[in-house]
Structure 1
Amino acid sequence: MVAELRRLLIEPSRMADRDGDGCLVLRDDECHYLRRVLRLRPGAPVEVVDGRGHLWEGLLQEKGQLLLPGICHTTTPASTPRLGLAIALVRRGMDEVMRMACELGVDCIQPLKATRSTPQADYKPERWQLILKEAVEQCERLWMPQLLPLTSTGSWWTRPDTSDTLAIATTRLEGLPALEPWLQRQTPGNNCIWLSIGPEGGWDPQEQAKALREGWSAVSLSEDILRSSTAAIAGVATLSSWRRTTPTGDQT
């Protein structure tokens, strides 16, 4: 049986810091993870990804270094269409949303400040970046999801590119199409398909009305009322499944 290689995500800017022999100096937390947690010894193989579609097969060295070849082992283009999740800040569950959305293949995450977002809903971009990094390493993705800065819903509805496909998950509207059949009617090509998820209290009526005026399509994720974090993961799972099975999707 072939042994599973351990994987590290190292930013592209750091990959350029290799010395003439191809050695990269690891950070203290990376050394601790490889040597203390995984108990790897010098000479052990380690896979390295840069979050931009490239993978190297390196060797752990003495003194906290990693030997990497000049040419990457694997190059994979980004999947198309891109999948975007916009989610209003919630009090509980954002960490899990970040982790599971990454594992399911989301490409962009946009945190939102909604009218009904609770005051206790914290914005923790540094923590979420770390969670995304760990999720990329764990699920063996080659592309790191992009975490966008917090923005208000008022600004968000008009921010995506005009060629993007836009859906807003909601409830209690007559004739709401379910997300899956709605997706089957879309032809997004190589652009992004966005799904926006509201806060625990739901979208403010004026907030939702503005989204619909700006071209967002209202969709349903369930016959029942879902928690925001549950809705986000259910929606991303549907998007990911659609991309894998539709002829327009290029899943990597």
Structure 2
Amino acid sequence: MEDLTRLIISDERIVNIKNNNLKLTNDEAHYINKVMRIKNGKEIFIANGEGSLWKATKVKNDYLQISQLKKPYFFQEKEIYLLGIAVVIPKSGFEDILKMCTEIGIDFIQPLFSERQVNKNLNFTRKLVRWNSIIKEAVEQSERLWKPSILNAIDIFEWIKSRDNQERVSISITREDNCYDLNQWLKKQQEFLNKKGGVLWNVIGPEGGWSSREIDFFNKNNNNFVKLSDNILRTSTASINVSSILNQWRNDLKLRN
């Protein structure tokens, strides 16, 4: 595939395009003109974050003309097995988690509250706008065609209660010898493989560890504990480790099938 600059445009905007001409926002025009220095007449790629990729030509500083709007240049099917990480929001480093997990290939990111969480006083309306912007930039940089979803923050107890039988959840834990490591647990998810469209999750706790009440709750809900490392990992390190393991598991499945 050609090495062209990429721009993510929501599918809603693309559907409403008239005469194949796309009006850019101020931020998009700044990125195209000032950052990437794309000249009039040059081509770029437009993606909608939902699998479709188009070629577009810059006709003005704030306009692009999309080629064959009704027939994308390339389309990628959605993954059969979807991957998610649920992360208790750390005091710092969450934006790095968003960037790197997006680049690796995670499909869902769930921010969580927990009892031992340090930073709970966040303006989530503003945060979600910021977080979605970071994910969008990471999608463009990594040339993914499917943009991961970041969900509204929720308490760990409520989130666990809301899971359904289309999902599989493992809970990362430290200082516990009597549990599988994540790779071992993934090998045992044969039943999940028969449920296309389900989400396979790993939950990463606060850097202070899960509370005894949370661990009791996980046990009562028959959640599986998994071990990531013999070392104690920071939330950001654990998130990247988990994302890499999950994505490699999925890639191995595709090679076998």
- Scaled by the length of structure 2, what TM-score is found? 0.92
Partner Cα distance (1:227, 1:209) in 2? 23
- Percent of residue pairs identical: 32
Question: Is the counterpart of residue 214 in structure 1 residue 221 in structure 2?
Answer: yes
What secondary structure does 2:161 align onto? coil
C-alpha displacement of 1:136: 0.3
Partner Cα distance (2:256, 2:104) in 1? 15
What secondary structure does 2:240 align onto? helix
C-alpha displacement of 1:247: 4.7
Q: What are the within-5 Å matches in structure 2 for residues 152-231 of structure 1?
A: 152-187=155-190, 188-189=192-193, 190=196, 191-231=198-238
Partner Cα distance (2:102, 2:93) in 1? 14
Aligned residue for 1:126?
129
Q: What are the within-5 Å matches in structure 2 for residues 35-184 of structure 1?
A: 35-68=33-66, 69-70=68-69, 71-119=71-119, 122=122, 123=124, 124-184=127-187
Judged with a 3 Å threshold, the aligned counterparts in structure 2 of structure 1 residues 50 and 249 are, in CA distance, closer, same or farther, namely: farther
Q: Residue 29 of structure 2 contacts residue 61 of structure 2 at CA under 8 Å; is this kept in 1? A: no
- Find the partner of 1:232 among 227, 232, 239: 239
Aligned residue for 2:23?
25
RMSD: 1.7
Judged with a 3 Å threshold, the aligned counterparts in structure 2 of structure 1 residues 249 and 101 are, in CA distance, closer, same or farther, namely: farther
Judged with a 3 Å threshold, the aligned counterparts in structure 2 of structure 1 residues 41 and 193 are, in CA distance, closer, same or farther, namely: same
C-alpha displacement of 1:4: 2.0
What secondary structure does 2:46 align onto? strand
Partner Cα distance (1:181, 1:42) in 2? 53
Question: Is the counterpart of residue 244 in structure 1 residue 251 in structure 2?
Answer: yes
Q: Which moved more, 1:206-215 or 1:167-176?
A: 206-215
Partner Cα distance (2:35, 2:61) in 1? 17
Judged with a 3 Å threshold, the aligned counterparts in structure 2 of structure 1 residues 93 and 63 are, in CA distance, closer, same or farther, namely: closer
Segments of structure 1 that go 5 or more residues without pairing to the other structure are: none
Q: Which amino acid letter does the alignment assign opposite residue 139 of structure 1?
A: S
Q: Residue 176 of structure 2 contacts residue 227 of structure 2 at CA under 8 Å; is this kept in 1? A: no
Aligned residue for 2:8?
9
What secondary structure does 2:243 align onto? helix
Q: Residue 113 of structure 2 contacts residue 120 of structure 2 at CA under 8 Å; is this kept in 1? A: no
C-alpha displacement of 1:18: 1.3
- Find the partner of 1:34 among 32, 35, 46: 32
Segments of structure 2 that go 5 or more residues without pairing to the other structure are: none
How many residue pairs match? The answer is 248
Partner Cα distance (1:225, 1:161) in 2? 30
C-alpha displacement of 1:160: 2.0
